[in-house]
A and B are shown apart, each in its own frame.
Chain A
Amino acid sequence: MSAHGAAPDRLARFAVSPRRRRADRLARGMLLAATLVALVPLVLIVYYLLVKGLGAWSWSFFTTDPTGSTFFGGSSIGGIKSAILGTLEMVALASMIAIPIGVGVALWLVEYGQPLWFANTVRFFVDVLTGVPSIVFGLFIYIVLIIGTGSTYAGYKGSLALSLLMLPVVIRSAEVILQLIPGALRESALALGAPRWKVIFRIVLPTALTGMLTGILLAVARAAGETAPLLFTAGHTNQTSLSLGSFMNSLPYQIYNDVTSPTTEVVNRAWGAALTLVAMILILNLIARLIARRSRLA
């Protein structure tokens, strides 16, 4: 730092003070440290999932049901076929219930309900639901559909519990995205003489699609990873069941059961199942994003 040509008092006025330089370094350092600390568990999770999970993966791992006999270890413990299919079926049904209803509620809130106090009440309850612990949804379905009807566990009851869990997430995220759509876009479509429902289906929804997809996938991923709502709604079985009317296995339940086992192979199956769950959600994400990108300019 040479002060050639500049009067020393000029330099004193414009020079960076050492104190500010120190404060800057300290603040940057702390932010970087926070980032690194957060990264440690993330990296470790992925690392353990891959190391332990991949070891459990094999052809029969995906094609056989758990046998239930866990004493001898080896291949006699079976795979996780029923858990994969159970999760796919139950989450698919839950999504079919929660996504249309959730997007519908969000559309009503943004497009029609805006000035009404009823809309604010709905919003409040949706917020409350977002914070409800997942086991409460399971409990609710248990009381209403199992105790209440005097019947027993079934896959669709698990789906219902999961869809209750997804609903507030879908509504809130879709609502936020719909509110981001500029009013000018709706206005220009209305000014063309388009009826309101066409404005919503042809202009608002396609524009919001990509953004809403993120929230929807978050909800799907959350539902796919939940054990609590399934514990006393879908029950548990080792057999693959294609009917949502019967007991149903699921990946989170399988993991929950397996990690508590004293047999190493069974614990490893939990790792394999966990990796499968993560991989399934990742693939779903990729597919959805691909579809969204393609439909951008249909």
Chain B
Amino acid sequence: MSRDAHPSPVEQTPEQMLQPHDHSSPAGGPSAQPVATEAATGAAGTQSVAKVAHEVRLERLRAFYGASEQVKGIDLSFPPNQVTAIIGPSGCGKSTMVRCINRMHEEIPGARAEGRVLLDELDIYDPAVDVIAVRRAVGMVFQKPNPFPTMSIFDNVAAGLRLTVGRSRRGELQHRVESALRGAGLWDEVSGRLSSPGVGLSGGQQQRLCIARSLAVDPEVLLMDEPCSALDPIATLKIEELIEQLKTRITIVIVTHNMQQAARVADRTAFMLAGELVEVGPTNEIFTKPSDPRTEEYVTGKFG
């Protein structure tokens, strides 16, 4: 999986240089040697190269459960450094489509997918591709927060690494757990109790813990399947702020039932109906002047 397959300088330059959350903290640099200049130069010193987000493109994607076709041939691309929201009524195939992007769809007995899903021009359904490598590159956050119940906060985040890469040095692990927790905006709330159980956190914190767990393995794309539907408005707001920060380095796809949420966080919005893509475009266009009457009816609340 080539990380440099996306050399589009126009998109990287302004945002990539900022990356506020990732470098402002001592997480990036070794705290043992507080060099003054390093704090000043920030980004360049700690994480040498700003990460480039990656593109996902679906080509004639079809998904089945047994004989019933839930996603009926979708062409759609998710540009890097952008948040794409998928909206549509229940059962329209949003989640199914998103689960095809990290090949989780096939985990359900009898389920299969056809067509192509290109991650930076590489078809992740190519028989030569390792499904495990795909899932490491394309993280997923689920509707209900689901921290691993037997593990502490630290171990939950570390699990992302331990379950995938295997053993890593203690210092390295600690560093990556901390930066993942900072990346998920949870560090300040939990840094004092890393060894307490992950399930002891509030719902919103648990969901951010799950996001941290996904971030720890350094994904190129993050899929979020209604990540806020079980959360209260304040916790939702925190997740939305987080999405805003994360998109500077990760391509984000978010399924949501909440149209205000789509309007708040998404650069682009796609509207699905009965397994088909009705319309996709810049979010404000979809909400203000959609080209398809069905989209207009849905976003104005006439059905769905």
Contacts and interface: CB of A to CB of B under 8 A. Distances in A.
B159 A192 contact: yes
B151 to A, nearest CB: 7
Interface stretch (B13-21, B135-143, B281-289): B135-143
A60 interface: no
Q: Is the interface of A mostly helix, strand, loop or mixed?
A: helix
B187 interface: no
A193 B107 CA distance: 13
A114 B135 contact: no
A33 interface: no
Nearest to B147: A188
Contacts of A297: 150-152, 195, 197
Interface string A101-133: 000000000000011000000000000000000
Given A115-B109, A193-B135, A207 B104 contact: no
A92 interface: no
Interface in B100-152: 102, 104, 107, 109-110, 132-137, 139-140, 142, 144, 146, 148-152
Contacts of B264: none
B132 A195 contact: yes
Contacts, number: 76
Interface string A179-198: 00010110111111111001
B107 A203 contact: no
A115 B151 CA distance: 30
A130 B139 CA distance: 43
Interface stretch (B32-40, B170-178, B209-217, B272-280): B209-217
A199 interface: yes
A111 to B, nearest CB: 11
A192 B142 contact: no
Given A193-B133, A297-B151, A202 B110 contact: no
What size tier do the contact residues of chain B reach?
A: 20 to 34
B227 interface: no
A193 B146 contact: no
A243 to B, nearest CB: 40
Contact of B217 (A185, A188, A193, A195): A193
A207 B147 CA distance: 12
Q: Which of B149, B150, B197 has the most CB of A within 10 A?
A: B150
B164 interface: yes
B254 to A, nearest CB: 15
Contact of B136 (A184, A189, A192, A207): A192
A1 to B, nearest CB: 44
B210 A188 contact: yes
Contacts of A203: 148, 150, 159, 163
A198 B160 CA distance: 11
Interface string B200-229: 000000000010011001000000000000
Nearest to A189: B163
B193 interface: no
A198 B213 CA distance: 16
Contacts of B160: 192
Q: Which of A189, A193, A194, A199 has the most CB of B within 10 A?
A: A193
A19 interface: no
Interface in A194-213: 194-195, 198-199, 202-203, 206-207, 209
27 contacts: A115-B110, A184-B144, A187-B104, A188-B140, A188-B146, A188-B210, A188-B213, A190-B104, A190-B107, A190-B135, A191-B102, A191-B214, A192-B135, A192-B159, A192-B163, A192-B217, A193-B132, A193-B133, A193-B134, A194-B163, A202-B162, A203-B148, A203-B163, A207-B149, A207-B150, A209-B150, A297-B195
Given A191-B135, A202-B163, A297-B151, 14 more contacts: A115-B109, A185-B146, A188-B213, A189-B148, A190-B107, A191-B139, A191-B140, A193-B133, A193-B163, A194-B135, A195-B132, A202-B159, A207-B149, A297-B152
Interface of A: 114-115, 182, 184-185, 187-195, 198-199, 202-203, 206-207, 209, 296-297
7 tightest A-B contacts by CB?
A193-B136, A194-B163, A193-B135, A191-B140, A206-B150, A115-B109, A184-B146
